[in-house]
Structure 1
Amino acid sequence: MKKLIKNGTIVTATDTYVADVLLEDGKIAVIGHHLPSEGVEVLDAEGCYIFPGGVDPHTHLEMPFGGTVSKDDFETGTIAAAFGGTTTIIDFCLTDKGVPLQNSIQTWHEKSRDKAVIDYSFHLMIGEMTEEVMKELPTVIEKEGITSFKVFMAYKNVLQADDETLFKTLVMAKEQGALVLVHAENGDVIDYLTKQALAKGETAPIHHAKTRPSELEGEATGRACLLTELADSQLYVVHVTCREAAEQIAQARAKGVSVYGETCPQYLVLDETELERPNFEGAKYVWSPPLRDKSHQRYLWNALSSGQLQTLGSDQCSFDFDGQKTLGKDDFSKIPNGGPFIEDRFSVLFSEGVGKGRITLNQFVDIVSTQSAKLFGLYPEKGTIAVGSDADLVIFDPTKERILSKDHHHMAVDYNAFEGMKIQGEPMTVLSRGEYVIKDGTFVGKLGNGRYIKRKRFNEKALRQEAVISN
């Protein structure tokens, strides 16, 4: 049945205005004033914003790590995302050296099949750039629509690739129209510092942060930017946490290098003192890169406001405190890295960003949705409100106050990283391609309704274009 959203304020990355929105066959059919309501279901959005559904460019659902598997899968993870206003995610597909890439992609298809309640796609990890991999990548791009590849510069002897692999990936990406993502930390030095700390008996969670100083994130980010410039390619730096890394991105962009940066809500509102919580509670806040000194937060907010950082990913990778985080009780290096953020990404940015005057309403939409859609080949079907775009919409009440807590969230994990945080604003109704996923705060979606999205190739021109739908 057609749906008509009336009386709401539409907000995109560029415009804010009051209008009606008619949804038909999964698309936005008409935007206008006083649209007729006969024969359609009417949704009254009085007093609410109508946002394009959030695009989360960085999730790890059902991901193996450190001898265990992240708690939220494509069922619980996408339900939680929908409650949080996100209607599209891009999950990271891990690969194994010597194994055909298609095998790993098939594993991720099996993880997600008949589970996701919102649309999704995959990034692909590149751990080596052999002749076999180079031959397979064009087929992966064409057949699977995977147009972004991630290279880890950290996790030595586990996920870390060398600089030759990174450079070859950048060259291949330039040729094939793909975007290279990097986890930018100096894994070799971190490995040395970790061994030194453990030898001294420094085993508590806070030493996770002490052995991964911000300087090593800045160094790796700068190195990746220089290699990108040399390859005349394009780079996206995930989960930027600190001034050193953000400055390297800004300097590269000032030189005209095609470099983009993402931060995450946890780095905007939490700091490294969380890792000092007693009774091993600090383990809940172990992820990589680690939380930083509070002084970095202002710089990250300024970088978002100025456009030097473009997106906000959740880096969702949840592990229970009891039974998973506690694997590292006597050794911080054995604490599974990651936390639960997929549900609160959208609202934390609104409350702490728009609500406190750090970013504008239109910047909020750009950061939480539009830029990710443009960077990762989803725009203009995703990431905006325009005739012909997918009817992925969020009816958002900006006045509703609430407390974030594990007692109320919809993630499967046994704690909330933002426990006790008071925020303002809540997604009330969320639609994916015109169908309800969340209706008046209640889940009404269906498992498997989320579609796998084959994405377009990287196109820098699209980053500067308004939404134009071709029929």
Structure 2
Amino acid sequence: MKQLIKNGTIVTAEKTFRADLLIVDGIIAKIGSGLTGGATVTEIDASGRYVLPGGVDVHTHLNLALGERRVSDGFYQGMRAAAFGGTTTIVDHPEAGPADCSLFHQPDYYRELLAHEAVIDYGIHGVFQRVDSEVLRDIPALIHSGVSSAKVYLTYDGMLNDVEIAQVLQAMGAAQGLTAFHAEDDAVIRALREQFGREGKRSAVYHALSRPDTTEADAIARILELAWAGGNIPVYIVHLSTAKGLAVIEQAKARGQRVFAETCPQYLLLDQSCYQQAEPEGLKYVMAPPLRSSADQQALWRGLSNGSIDVLATDHCSFSFADKVKYGQADFRQCPGGCPGVETRLPLSYSAGVGQGRFSINRFVDLVATTPAKLMGLYPRKGALQPGADADIVVWNPELEKTLAVTTLHQQCDYTPFAGMQVKGWPELTMLRGRIIVKDGDFFGEKGFGEFLERTPFAGSC
């Protein structure tokens, strides 16, 4: 099967240029001017449009279950929403598995579920919930199986202590894995949550106050000290939210440390004033880390622009507003945390980033597709527009304007934290391996078409 995208403006992380793009059997075959594909080619006219690589979101929780609490989407609905927003690949974070389960348990379990549900391509992160000789022994085999990254929590049940983190880092570094970290100081957070509970301070604003910016910065500093002392082992900091945390990362990068960071649209576009909304509205914004100040927002935008932040992901975790109220209205500590965002990531970051002159369209592509693909062992199959890459392509209308509303999005969740925001720039067509899965607001994807991606070991840089 041949397809020819004509008259568009190709955008990569490095350059922008007018060209045609020829696809043969789901793979990009040629990029150039005046291409033809013969009598059997199907032509797509991209006049006045950008042609972008499909988005790569390396931080999602599309099927997360914590006891009786479960996110709204599930894999099918979450991936469908992602496709409408121009994302063609995710790397999903599983929750911790049963006590004492193997390092393979959750990735294997998720692969079984996704085999029948996936409508876009996917990878799966590992998760460390304990450290012992079995877990450490299994790390090379996990990476060899195509799961080249795994996550450590510094808070919540299943968190690791410094000795365990050092052991994980050594084993992951030796096996060419990339260790991802949820960086918050558990001791301080626990103490503040207990204090606020005793004092009857249980509304949503106290969620934010129980997780001050120092808890993130101090946790990042601990991680980076351990990684540096272990021989400059690469680490990946998820959902960076603070100027203080960014400063720690920038200092480490300046000395040559291999640290990579992501942030998310909620930390760029929403701030802690959201918690002051009349109850129970503030519960919509209970997430960890919490929303921060406008000064933190400005620092994060600067980090995206100057390269000290490497990735724009979502941390999509779509517990419904109904469940947030059900569990958390009387006490923020019982509120399930997280927010939806997998569909709105590209439009929001393009509109507020490129549209408002904060960074170039090439930097946009780098943040939402190319660098996440490189860091997570997917490049150049994903995140690239070049011969030999998968034809994961978004035809982007830079003039299309929309006002975000839960009624017009395709997520299963009953709210969007970005309701009422106006964006300019939206995908008109999303293609996965040469197959159109979204076009002009209609969905053509099929369950099971999405493929598991065996990710390569970490290459050492992006």
Letter in 2 for 1:74: F
CA distance in 2: counterparts of 1:213 and 1:151, whole angstroms:
20
Letter in 2 for 1:200: E
Which residue of structure 2 lines up, in the alignment, with residue 165 of structure 1?
Answer: 164
**Deviation at residue 82 of structure 1 after TM alignment:** 0.5
Q: Is the 8 A contact 2:396 2:429 kept in 1?
A: yes
Name the SS for the 2:200 alignment partner.
Answer: coil
Which residue of structure 2 lines up, in the alignment, with residue 467 of structure 1?
Answer: none
Q: Is the 8 A contact 1:427 1:441 kept in 2?
A: no
Any unmatched runs of 5+ in structure 1? 464-471
Question: Which residues in structure 2 correspond to 1:450-469 (within 5 Å)?
Answer: 450-461=450-461, 463=462
Letter in 1 for 2:417: A
Letter in 2 for 1:84: G
Q: Is the 8 A contact 2:236 2:261 kept in 1?
A: yes
Which residue of structure 2 lines up, in the alignment, with residue 192 of structure 1?
Answer: 191
Name the SS for the 2:346 alignment partner.
Answer: helix
Q: Deviations over 1:223-263 (max 9, x none)?
A: 11111111120000000001011111101111111001000
Q: Is the 8 A contact 1:283 1:326 kept in 2?
A: no
Letter in 1 for 2:45: D
Counterpart selection for 1:142 from 141, 144, 148:
144
- Between 323-332 and 42-51, the greater mean CA deviation after superposition: 323-332
Name the SS for the 1:395 alignment partner.
Answer: strand
Question: Number of aligned pairs?
Answer: 459
Which residue of structure 2 lines up, in the alignment, with residue 85 of structure 1?
Answer: 86
The answer to whether 1:60 aligns with 2:75 is no
CA distance in 2: counterparts of 1:323 and 1:98, whole angstroms:
29
The answer to whether 1:133 aligns with 2:124 is no
CA distance in 2: counterparts of 1:67 and 1:195, whole angstroms:
23
Letter in 2 for 1:131: S
Question: Which residues in structure 2 correspond to 1:243-254 (within 5 Å)?
Answer: 243-254=243-254
Which residue of structure 2 lines up, in the alignment, with residue 425 of structure 1?
Answer: 425
CA distance in 2: counterparts of 1:114 and 1:67, whole angstroms:
23
The answer to whether 1:99 aligns with 2:101 is yes
The answer to whether 1:43 aligns with 2:47 is no
Q: Deviations over 1:373-424 (max 9, x none)?
A: 0101000111110000110000000001100110100000000110000010
Q: Is the 8 A contact 2:96 2:158 kept in 1?
A: no
Question: Which residues in structure 2 correspond to 1:49-448 (within 5 Å)?
Answer: 49-65=50-66, 67-96=68-97, 97-143=99-145, 145-155=146-156, 158-232=157-231, 233-448=233-448
CA distance in 1: counterparts of 2:369 and 2:380, whole angstroms:
11
Any unmatched runs of 5+ in structure 2? none
CA distance in 2: counterparts of 1:10 and 1:302, whole angstroms:
26
Q: Is the 8 A contact 1:91 1:122 kept in 2?
A: yes
Name the SS for the 1:217 alignment partner.
Answer: helix
Q: Is the 8 A contact 1:436 1:444 kept in 2?
A: yes
**Deviation at residue 142 of structure 1 after TM alignment:** 1.4
Letter in 2 for 1:396: W
Which residue of structure 2 lines up, in the alignment, with residue 469 of structure 1?
Answer: none
Query: 1:112–1:395: structure 2 CA closer, same or farther, 3 Å change rule?
Result: same
Letter in 1 for 2:184: E
**Deviation at residue 325 of structure 1 after TM alignment:** 4.0
Q: Deviations over 1:191-227 (max 9, x none)?
A: 1100000100001011000000001101001111111
CA distance in 2: counterparts of 1:373 and 1:315, whole angstroms:
16
Q: Is the 8 A contact 2:115 2:451 kept in 1?
A: no
Name the SS for the 1:113 alignment partner.
Answer: helix
TM-score by length of structure 2 reads 0.98
Letter in 2 for 1:20: D
**Deviation at residue 66 of structure 1 after TM alignment:** 6.1
Letter in 2 for 1:107: Y
Aligned residues: CA RMSD: 1.1
TM-score by length of structure 1 reads 0.96
**Deviation at residue 324 of structure 1 after TM alignment:** 4.1
- Between 90-99 and 209-218, the greater mean CA deviation after superposition: 90-99
CA distance in 2: counterparts of 1:86 and 1:266, whole angstroms:
17
Name the SS for the 2:348 alignment partner.
Answer: helix
- Between 409-418 and 271-280, the greater mean CA deviation after superposition: 271-280
CA distance in 2: counterparts of 1:26 and 1:127, whole angstroms:
38
Q: Is the 8 A contact 1:267 1:291 kept in 2?
A: yes
CA distance in 1: counterparts of 2:236 and 2:398, whole angstroms:
31
Q: Is the 8 A contact 1:325 1:336 kept in 2?
A: no
